[in-house]
Amino acid sequence: MESVNASIITIGDELLIGQTIDTNSAWMAQELNAAGIWVKRRVAVGDDGPDIRKALDEESRDCPIILITGGLGPTADDITKPLLCDYFGGKLIVNEEALENVKRIFERYLKRPLIERNLKQAEVPDNCRVIQNRRGTAPGMWFEKDGKIFVSMPGVPFEMKGMMTEEVIPSLQQRFSLPTIHHRTLLTAGIGESFLAEMIESFENALPASIKLAYLPNYGMVKLRLSSRSGETGIEKEIDSRFVTLQGLVKEYMVTNRDETLEETIGHILKERNKTLSTAESCTGGYIAHLVTSIPGSSAYFKGSVVSYANEVKENLLGVRTQTLNSQGAVSEETVREMVEGALQALKTDFAIATSGIMGPDGGTPEKPVGLVWIAVGTKDRVESKRFNFRFDRKRNIDLTANNALNMLRTLVLSG
């Protein structure tokens, strides 16, 4: 069975200048892939009519499915709808269901009067299939031309995801005979991508042509993903067998054999053991707590955090000794160990994480340079600490600190 290709076009000047990060196409690609549709290209285009037309022409040459997000708002720079109307040779008409939806949202939720600009949200080309927006005011549009499908959706992620999940993907699955795309993913930590590749070189070279290996590095961790979109008999059994072999080769560094984040893995482990966690964060400023609580159900194991950015907070809330801060400094092994002890006592948890470091770009000294971080994890009976020297910008240093802290916690919990 041949794969079906799709192209994603995201529209908006804000994407090209970096003012808005394009999360839409990443999410869409994952959902399409899970449905058996292979994303061949992702293209970002500004709010420029000729550029949008060119993208539509070029992408439809190679792909039977073209998904478009952005440019459907009520302001002058939202040019996607009139452009598509002209591109497909239609004329704008009011869709009554979309109009009622706009009125309902303004009356029930926004509590403000409608103006003409808002009413125009309900206008759609007369030659499209309307995709109603149950999460916003701008309807989506489904066009077909020369055997190709074009779907235009709002750029607001929440609204686009609703349309994709409820209508677009189910409709595509009905239209096309789609292959099953198999993925097997594991996560490693504590080893770089190049060293990992060296370790499993013979394994990779022995893979059949129908199975591909991908390296996906991210902030001190590397995902390894085996994929196959082949329809040949027995491919799922073959990829499972290869995945077992791969796990054995990297077991020393493997965090999880599921396609999940480190914070999800931590959640599973703590839940399984009925244990609780707290954090005492200085240089990470609550970022570790944010990662942990981004996982649904984290209230079952996460109790809270003390963001002790200032020394007086370390002293007053975590009980770090003044003598320790004066003699060793805030960025020291002794301080993070006392921060762990203070968090365990203050928040009454089984485990705690503490971080203190110099994230940059300034604040370093010859003795304690930018990128120096101390991390401690522990229980009431055991505290482990480790020094790191990161060399990147502030954001990446924070990300690396958080990931290393969570992985240290994972190792500690599993060792008990």
**Which helix H or strand E contains 186, and what residues bound it?**
strand 182-189
The whole model's pTM is what? Answer: 0.82
Q: Beginning with the edge strand found earlier in the chain, give each strand of the sheet holding 65-69 in spatial order.
A: 37-45, 4-11, 65-69, 148-153, 140-145, 129-131
Q: Bridge partners of 10? A: 44, 69
Sheet (strand 221-228) strand order: 212-218, 221-228, 182-189, 254-256
Angle between helices 311-318 and 333-347 (to 10 degrees): 40
Q: What angle do CA 385, 391, 392 make, to 5 degrees?
A: 115
Per-residue buried b or exposed e for 125-138, using 16+ beta carbons within 10 Å of the residue's own CB: bebbeebbbeebbb
Measured between alpha carbons, how far is 307 from 285 in angstroms, rounded to an integer?
Answer: 6
| CA 80 to chain CA mean position, Å | 27
The Cβ-side half-sphere exposure at 89, using a 13 Å CA radius, reads: 2
Helix (H, G, I), strand (E, B) or coil at 9: strand
pLDDT by 10s per residue, the chain, length 416: 567 999 999 999 999 999 999 999 999 999 999 899 999 999 999 999 999 999 999 999 999 999 999 999 888 778 999 999 999 999 999 999 999 999 888 888 777 787 888 888 999 999 999 999 999 999 999 999 999 999 999 999 999 999 999 999 999 999 999 888 899 999 999 999 999 999 999 999 999 999 999 999 998 999 999 998 766 678 999 999 999 999 999 999 999 999 999 999 999 999 999 999 999 999 999 999 999 999 999 999 999 999 999 999 999 999 999 999 999 999 999 999 999 999 999 999 999 999 999 999 999 999 999 999 999 999 999 999 999 999 999 999 999 999 999 999 999 999 98
Q: Give percent helix, percent strand, percent coil of the chain, each to the nearest 5.
A: 45, 25, 35
Q: Which residues 6+ apart lie within 8 Å of 349 measured at CB?
A: 276, 277, 278, 303, 343
Residue 341 and residue 78: Cα distance in Å, rounded? 55
Residues 6+ apart with CB under 8 A from 343: 278, 279, 280, 306, 318, 349, 352, 353, 354
State the Cα–Cα distance between residues 310 and 109, nearest whole angstrom: 42
CA–CA gap between residue 150 and residue 69 (Å, rounded): 11
Domains in the chain, CATH or no CATH each: 4-175 (3.40.980.10), 182-256 (3.30.70.2860), 262-415 (3.90.950.20)
* Coil, helix or strand at residue 167: helix
- The pLDDT of residue 26: 95
The Cα–Cα gap between 346 and 287 comes to: 19
Enumerate residues 6+ apart whose C-beta is below 8 A from 187. Answer: 221, 222, 223, 254, 255, 256, 260, 261, 262, 265
CA pair distance 157, 24, nearest whole angstrom: 6
Rounded Cα–Cα distance for residues 158 and 260 (Å): 22
Radius of gyration (Cα) for the chain, nearest Å? 26
d(CA 342, CA 280): 8
Q: How many angstroms separate the CA atoms of 6 and 297, rounded?
A: 34
What the block records as the tokens of 59 is 């992408």
